[in-house]
Amino acid sequence: MNVFAEKFDDIKIFRFEVPGFEKLSLKKKLFIYYLGQATIAGRDILWDQHGKYNLYLRDVLEAIYLSNPQKEGEEWESFEVYLKKVWFSSGPHHHYSTEKFTPEFSRKSFKEWLNNLEEGVNKIKKEHLSPGNISILEKMIFDPKFHSKRVNTNPAEDMISTSANNFYEDVTQGETESFYKELRSKADNKKLSFGLNSRLTKVNGTIKEEVYCIKGKYGSAIEKIHAYLKQAAVYVENNEQQIVLNLLIEFYETGDLELFDQYCIKWVETLGGDIDYINGFIETYGDPLGIKATWEGVVQFIDIEETKKAEVIAEYAGWFEQNAPVNPTYKKDEIKGISLKAINAVVLGGDCYPASPLGINLPNAEWIREQHGSKSVTLTNISNSHHKASLSTGFTEEFTLNSEEVRLEKEYGAISDNLHTHLHECVGHGSGKMMEGVTSESLKSYGSVIEETRADLYGLYYMYDPKMTELGLLPNMDAAKAHYNGYIRNGLLTQITRIKLGSDVEQAHMRNRQLIARWVYEKGEDQVIKKVVENGKSYFVINDYEKLRILFGDLLNEIQRIKSEGDYEAAKQIVESYGVKIDQDLHREVLERFEKLKVPPFTGFLNPNYTLVNRDGEIEDVIVDYETNYSDQMLYYSKEYGFLKPAF
């Protein structure tokens, strides 16, 4: 299999392998197959959540693409790049920065292509292209100020009406906040994640929730997901899986959040079986208020070797909690059911496609995590692909001062990264407790950054603990050093290659990495970590690994306090001071160095194809192949899984 598929703009596309799929029993393959269908079936939901004109934009762009047989010239190449970017981000806003991107082709060419559109291609009819619609379309494509940002997290503005996402219509931030405050105060069950699976809108002056369910918003896509899940339910591995799946199926019928919580609890408690999945309205990064969740899906099965390591960590979860450098008031008295599995991804969907996370820890509801624990997975096949790719580009060499650091990275980078992910997901997200009355919404737009910072700090603090080699999780302390080098290098230098000059750090994970790296660099006063400039190139060199570890511990203590107390002001202060702004001179320098390497900073993945093999009306096998390319897969998904109607 060829891992590299293609690159365009700031994106590279890889394929991922699914080792061991062929060896699974037919029943397991079918379970995976139908779960996989349910994962792709929700694709349109994310597109619409990202912006209310996004599906329309996609339809028109794809129609142009399909009805132009002469695909040549610079303008056309720009068009292809633009379409590929729109596919990648499920809309015209960059998937990472959430800022609007605009194409290189001209309005004139666009007009010509529109005029040449054949009636019926991609279901486009004349009435879809009315002057009013076209004018909106042109603003979506060419005007960077129109719907300029998908997620605006600037607290000085009304974050709701200035965000281009489609979670809210005609309501302000103030109205939204008081709506949910009132909803919560009136509810019998105050623990529900109010607003998680709905769009908030105004009908005749009254604020109303449009709930995502079969009979509600996104009904025609949810109906398909629901049907595939029912087919999957025939092939479950055990009784518990049956119960869980039935709860999810029932939840999609009504959108009842009580059912969703019941489902999450059962899901987290179901540990048997080799196959698992995520399917639903899960992550709230796309909403500046952290209320509304985007749709996502992953199907996965166990990676036995990596899981053994993860189980060692899970076994010592209590030890990790006890020994954390954190005020005992904020520690859990007892660690419940943390399960950590290394898995191979089989199908990615919604918000996990084509850009995929490396690890996942769910459920998100804080009270379920405290009372029932959480499930953590690291996606081994995805992260191995990532790592393989980055070593061959000269990227590490460019941003490291000495060859010893490069050697450590090549030798131990992958193994320590995998360990960090285990620690981040299992020990990090699984630990700590909230004070009475504090909820995960207390920190508002800073909530996810603080939570990711906390999880990363657990990973960093324990990485350099002798316990790691004692438990056989790291071969030696050099591996831990490799990880510290890599983390600091990324947080202070290399991750800003993903950001345009002049822009701030926006994405939660990037903010948390910069926050940590900048904080320890500053507190170490150029002693622990030293900035060195050679031949006009900046480097950060760690002089004292022991002291650096102590600084990680100090910061962890403070971050845990902020989280447990719901201290919004402190969260704002620390995130804005360390996580958001970039030194402009350094940024310019890093971008210039990076430019010369010609490596796209972002990565996405194509799903493998899964095909049912029929003989005499009986399914006798499911086969996997990696033959597809990026455009074909996107067009295929739009055609076969385009279950939602565009806004026009």
**Which residues lie closer than 8 Å to 127 by C-beta, 6 or more apart?**
none
Torsion from C-alpha of 183, 184, 187, 193, nearest 10 degrees: 100
**Which residues lie closer than 8 Å to 592 by C-beta, 6 or more apart?**
none
Q: Which is nearer to Zn ion, 12 or 95 (CB)?
A: 95
Q: Which is nearer to Zn ion, 455 or 468 (CB)?
A: 455
Q: Which is nearer to Zn ion, 18 or 450 (CB)?
A: 450
**Largest Cα span, the chain:** 74
Q: Which is nearer to Zn ion, 62 or 452 (CB)?
A: 452
Q: Which is nearer to Zn ion, 209 or 283 (CB)?
A: 283
Q: Which is nearer to Zn ion, 459 or 566 (CB)?
A: 459
Angle between helices 477-492 and 447-463 (to 10 degrees): 150
Q: Which stretch binds Zn ion (CB under 5 A): 238-246, 253-261, 413-421, 454-462?
A: 454-462
Q: Which is nearer to Zn ion, 455 or 492 (CB)?
A: 455
Angle between helices 403-422 and 380-391 (to 10 degrees): 170
Minimal distance in Å, beta carbon 455 to Zn ion?
5
Minimal distance in Å, beta carbon 429 to Zn ion?
6
Q: Which is nearer to Zn ion, 12 or 375 (CB)?
A: 375
Minimal distance in Å, beta carbon 259 to Zn ion?
26
Minimal distance in Å, beta carbon 360 to Zn ion?
8
Q: Which stretch binds Zn ion (CB under 5 A): 244-252, 453-461, 516-524, 638-646?
A: 453-461
Q: Considering CB under 5 A, how many residues would be counted as binding Zn ion?
A: 2
Q: Binding Zn ion by CB under 5 A: which of 455, 505, 551, 562?
A: 455
Q: Which stretch binds Zn ion (CB under 5 A): 133-141, 198-206, 451-459, 589-597?
A: 451-459
Alpha helices in 154-286 (DSSP H): 173-186, 219-232, 239-254, 257-269
Minimal distance in Å, beta carbon 45 to Zn ion?
23
Minimal distance in Å, beta carbon 564 to Zn ion?
17
Nearest in space to 536 (alpha carbons), one of 398, 441, 409, 338: 398
Minimal distance in Å, beta carbon 449 to Zn ion?
11
Minimal distance in Å, beta carbon 424 to Zn ion?
6
Angle between helices 54-67 and 74-89 (to 10 degrees): 140
Q: Which is nearer to Zn ion, 430 or 604 (CB)?
A: 430
Q: Which stretch binds Zn ion (CB under 5 A): 220-228, 328-336, 381-389, 445-453?
A: 445-453
With tokens 């987290």, the residue in question is: 268
Q: Which stretch binds Zn ion (CB under 5 A): 123-131, 447-455, 479-487, 623-631?
A: 447-455
The Cα-based distances of 627 to 1, 5, 399, 624 in angstroms read: 8, 10, 35, 9
Minimal distance in Å, beta carbon 376 to Zn ion?
9
Minimal distance in Å, beta carbon 320 to Zn ion?
16
Q: Which stretch binds Zn ion (CB under 5 A): 91-99, 234-242, 449-457, 595-603?
A: 449-457
Minimal distance in Å, beta carbon 521 to Zn ion?
22
Distance of CA 29 to the CA centre of its chain: 26
User: What element of type H or E holds 313?
Assistant: helix 304-315
Minimal distance in Å, beta carbon 428 to Zn ion?
7
Q: Which stretch binds Zn ion (CB under 5 A): 446-454, 524-532, 594-602, 627-635?
A: 446-454
- Structure tokens, 573: 């202060």
Q: Which is nearer to Zn ion, 452 or 567 (CB)?
A: 452
Distance CA 241, CA 276 (A): 9
Neighbours of 435 (CB within 10 A): 14
The Cα-based distances of 279 to 234, 248, 377, 433, 622 in angstroms read: 17, 8, 14, 27, 21
Minimal distance in Å, beta carbon 310 to Zn ion?
15
**Which residues lie closer than 8 Å to 149 by C-beta, 6 or more apart?**
93, 98, 99, 100, 162, 163, 164
Q: Which is nearer to Zn ion, 279 or 361 (CB)?
A: 361
Structure letter (DSSP) for residue 149: B
Distance CA 189, CA 169 (A): 27
Q: Which is nearer to Zn ion, 249 or 455 (CB)?
A: 455
Q: Which is nearer to Zn ion, 160 or 382 (CB)?
A: 382
Alpha helices in 2-42 (DSSP H): 26-40
DSSP string, 80-102: HHHHHHHHHHTSSB-TTT-BB--
Q: Which stretch binds Zn ion (CB under 5 A): 201-209, 273-281, 448-456, 527-535?
A: 448-456
Alpha helices in 392-440 (DSSP H): 395-398, 403-422, 429-430
The Cα-based distances of 196 to 210, 211, 292, 373 in angstroms read: 11, 9, 4, 20
Q: Which is nearer to Zn ion, 236 or 434 (CB)?
A: 434
Minimal distance in Å, beta carbon 290 to Zn ion?
14
Minimal distance in Å, beta carbon 454 to Zn ion?
9
Contact 93, 51 (CB under 8 A): yes
Distance CA 386, CA 605 (A): 10
Q: Which is nearer to Zn ion, 314 or 455 (CB)?
A: 455
Helix, strand or coil, per DSSP, at residue 339: strand
- Structure tokens, 86: 């729109």
Comparing every residue's Cβ against Zn ion, the nearest one is: 455
Interaction pattern, residues 397-436, with Zn ion; x per rule: CB under 5 A? ----------------------------------------
Nearest in space to 396 (alpha carbons), one of 386, 385, 405: 405
**Which residues lie closer than 8 Å to 410 by C-beta, 6 or more apart?**
391, 396
Q: Which stretch binds Zn ion (CB under 5 A): 57-65, 263-271, 331-339, 455-463?
A: 455-463
Contact 29, 620 (CB under 8 A): no
**Sign of torsion, CA 567 568 572 575?**
positive
**Sign of torsion, CA 125 129 133 136?**
positive
Contact 190, 437 (CB under 8 A): no
Minimal distance in Å, beta carbon 212 to Zn ion?
24
Which of positions 20-39 make contact with Zn ion (CB under 5 A)?
A: none
Q: Which is nearer to Zn ion, 427 or 499 (CB)?
A: 427
Which residues in this chain contact Zn ion in the complex, by CB under 5 A? Answer: 452, 455
